[in-house]
Structure 1
Amino acid sequence: MADPHRELADFLRRARAARDPAETPLPADGRIRRVPGLRREEVALLAGVSTDYYTRLEQGRRIVPSTQVLDAIARALDLDEAGRKHLSDLVGAAGSPRPRPRATVQRVRSGLHQLLEALDTQPALILGRRTDVLAANRMARALFTDFDRLPARERNYARWMLLSDEARALFVDWEQQARNAVESLRLDAGRMPDDPGTQQLVGELSLASPEFRRWWSEHQVHQRTFGAKRLRHPVVGELTVDYETFTLPADGDQALFVYTTAPGSSSREALGLLASWAHPQAPRKHGEDGAITAAGAP
């Protein structure tokens, strides 16, 4: 289990290094900057805390900042919503150690399965903790991969993105999409630092993927709320899909992703072709009265 204080220190150091001094209200002091980003004393000044206090945070000392101080540091580092959430999660883990959670099976309610199938022409899937793929409709399986055919332990979006040759060939901007998956996993890991499944996944990816090791060490976080993915699909060619993320209030660890295309676009046409390919019409036969009915119909 990673030390939450050291995780907090690492995140602060990297966020400070990423902050452009020219974008702050700090006056130029004429000193040569030997490393990128802000100095510790500058973050402390912007946040209204002492340099000694902020330095001890970056050293991983066992102190827990108040909510007010936390907000001030987040503003000083210009953290986005995902960064603020991650910072809060790390401080929470450092301030109130929790018992090691029991490994539990993630389940999708029957109503959500019905919703996925009702989205018959739109790819849709549900991700759970640590980006586990909990359910996907036929269009999602046709667009990405048939997660249902993978062994249960391999039904994970980040794992598929990083370790699958199929994913590398499918995504035109694979590096950006894979980095986003790693940064989303980082965000999730901060929320559940003691989760055994997350620790096992991070260990596996660290051994198997040099890209994962590099991006994980950068300690960036990403919240997938909406966006676009550019694909080079083996059946229908190139297309761009937009996605929207819907959180599920009754299932806090699960999120629904729905993929659409722009009206009148070549991507809309390609998705329609994929729908025809993924939903072949049932063969038809003549009934006793001469009427044509779908095979298997009563």
Structure 2
Amino acid sequence: MTQLSSPPQLDGWTHVYSGKVRDLYVPADGSDAHLLVVASNRVSAFDHVLEPPIPGKGALLTTLSNWWFSRIDVPNHLAGEGSGAPAVPAEVADRAMLTRRLEMYPIECVVRGALTGSGFAEYQRTGAVCGIELPAGLEDGDLLETPIYTPAYKAPLGEHDENITYERSAELVGEEVAAALRDASLRIFTAARDLAAERGVVLADTKFEFGRDPRAEAGDAAGALVLADEVLTSDSSRYWDASAYFDAALPRADRLASFDKQIVRDWLAANWDKQGEPPALPDEIVAQTYARYAELHARLTGE
């Protein structure tokens, strides 16, 4: 995987981790109640962080997450003003989330409202997805009559996540927590899918991550299940344009064109043999990718 460049130094905060597209900071004073999650403009594909970044991408993802957080009736990790955390530095304010520091559950809570991607590949092999049997004869992109919950185990750093059955998730986190994760994920997905449909967008699938607040008192349900990470963004979800999706005259590739970095993946697949370092993205691919992220943001939020 491509090595990441050094993250920026931020006044009042200490850098502790960088993923492919986000940087995490803790208060420099040593307190452990908060975390600063900064969405970079980096873009990744095929386990490489690519050059150049997509200017403005981090701000779009952050504002869209915040927009969804304000509409989801599940406690989330955002920390309000006056929480005692250091101020969010101005240079990252548009792409940073000040959050409560949580103990994260090792489960990616994936909900699929359509059969596509890795789920479709598994269905072709086995007739099921994560142990859930599906009707025969489904094709790539078909909507499911009822959304399905297909969790994944969050593998250690450097390893790939593993699709698991619900039963395996219960072994990892306990039956009570596993059921709460499943039920909350399906409820959030259903509400988000309906709202997206009102705006002419199909929400095909998404992933949620949850944690628990270690400072919550015993028996505090809100502290036990807290929605974290990004939520319902282009990087964590697959969205399709409804007018194209339901146009049977269009080729399947056009119907399933997603509002994400698929443009980048397609360009790399056509221009790189996956040996060595990937080539730099052309300016037009950078511009087209940003436009796709921006269009989804505008369609959903009306801004």
**TM-score where L is the length of structure 2:** 0.24
Higher relative contact order (CA 8 A, sep 6+): 2
Q: Higher helix fraction: Structure 1 or Structure 2? A: 1
**TM-score where L is the length of structure 1:** 0.25
